[in-house]
Structure formats: C-alpha cells, structure tokens
Amino acid sequence: MNGIHDVGGMHGFGAVDTDDDGELFHERWEALAFAMQVVTIHGAELYNLHEFRRAREQVDPAEYLSSAYYDNWLAAVEKILIEKGVVTDAELRERVAAVKHGGESTPESSDPALTERTLQRIHNRDASVVAVDPRFEPGDAVVVRNQHPEGHTRGPGYLRRCVGVVDAVRGGFELPDASAHGEKRVEPLYGVTFDAEDVWGDSSDGTAIHIDLWESYIADPEASAANAARAEKVNETRPETDDTRAN
C-alpha cells in the first residue's frame, strides 16, 4: 500500500524528532491504549500484529497525521474489533457517549490468567521461527522489487529498486502481507544492508541502512557493472554481525 503511514523518504516533513524525556506514556489513556492492543493480540488472540498494522493504515490520512501516536493505535483497535464482531460500532459509540457525559464509569478488572498468557506469548516470540530453504545467502547482492501492493506490506517504499547486500538469513517468518488478511504464508527473512547514499542521495550522512526484508520483496539484481559496484561498496561497510530482529 502506498499510504501516508509510510513517510520514510518523503520530502516536506522535516527531520525526525529524536527528543526523549524517558517517559513511555505521557497520559494514563496512552498506557491503556497500549495495553488494549497487547492483550487483544497476545492474550485474547483476537487478531494478529499485521492485521493491527493494516487497520492503522486505513485511518484517514489527514486524521493520521494530525492525531497523536496512541490515538492512531486506539482507532485501529476499535476498527479491527468491530471487523471481528467483538463489538458493534453502535455499542462503541453508545459506551463512549455514556462515559463522556458521566453516566457511567470506566470499569476496571483483573484477569491473572489472561495476563500470564499475554506475557508468555510475548516472551516466546522466537518460537515462531520456521526452518526454510532460503534463496539468498550472506554476501549476495539483491534488489528490492518495485512493488505497489494494494494491501499491507512491510516493504518500505523508499527502498524500491535499491540494491543492497544480504547480511543474515533470519529463518522463516509469516509474511506480513498475507497475515494482515488472515492468510498464513511463511517466507525466508533476510537482514539486508544498503548504502545510505544510494537511497537518500547527496543528503545522506554516509552511513548504512540495515533492514529486514522478506524473500518476495527482493530479487537478483541485473548483472551490470553499476549494480556490482554498489554491492561491493556496501560489502565494504557491512558489519560482521547484526542482531536486528524482525518486529
């Protein structure tokens, strides 16, 4: 999907604000929105992470840009719970109106079993790795396919047609593009390094970009001197190890 959520490489948004005051949440409702997402995915297993991301991408672009981070999380959770039939839009609106006007309080509850199940699934994420037969291996040059899928994808638009070098084979993971629509398809996942100048041009700071890409996102680059030179340049700066994991 070519959506506003994938703003990497777009002009006009200014530099990324890296200020960090050390606070994970600045208001209580943000923590509650975060907890709702974590529990409904990992504890109740009502949907998966990729379905959640798809729902976020369907937020109106103007609303997406003007809303706070956890506003968009909450909107996505509401949307997907309505899609799954957990709650209706009318029920949600009625409940919000009642609480907003003081007619009802926000309920609080404790479910130790749900909490334990949620924590277990979060801590056992490595169990989702599947043995696969990868097409590429560390050191191979690859090019990111120029794909424009209508649905969810984890392939960044700013890397399309860029040539990089495989750093590592992560194993087999469910393809987000399929999981976001309730399908299960496992593909090899690769750690790939790109020369920042090839991606960002003269405005880059000369560093490298490290990113995880599924096999269907990449292909063998054309056998040209230019692509071979790019791969050699990236290989010279490629780190010996890379601990980046798929999120």
Mean pLDDT computed over every residue of the chain: 86
The pLDDT of residue 246 is above 60: no
Give the Cα separation of 239 and 127 in Å (integer): 26
Structure confidence at residue 110 (pLDDT): 85
Residue 225 pLDDT level (bands cut at 50, 70, 90)? very low
CA distances from 43 to 76, 88, 119, 192 (A): 17, 21, 8, 32
Structure confidence at residue 102 (pLDDT): 77
Mean pLDDT across 233-240: 67
The pLDDT of residue 17 is above 60: yes
Structure confidence at residue 206 (pLDDT): 74
pTM, 2 dp: 0.80
Closest CA to 213 of 157, 163, 158, 156: 156
SS3 category, 178 = helix
CB atoms closer than 10 angstroms to residue 7: 15
More confident residue, 168 or 246: 168
More confident residue, 223 or 198: 198
Mean pLDDT across 101-116: 81
The pLDDT of residue 27 is above 90: yes
The pLDDT of residue 243 is above 60: no
SS3 category, 146 = coil
More confident residue, 121 or 138: 138
Structure confidence at residue 238 (pLDDT): 66
Lowest-pLDDT range of 6-15, 83-92, 193-202: 6-15
Task: Read off the pLDDT of residues 148-157 as tens digits, 9 standing for 90 and up.
Answer: 888 899 999 9
The pLDDT of residue 58 is above 60: yes
Element (H, E) at 76: helix 69-83
Structure confidence at residue 99 (pLDDT): 83
Structure confidence at residue 38 (pLDDT): 96
Residue 18 pLDDT level (bands cut at 50, 70, 90)? confident
Mean pLDDT across 122-141: 87
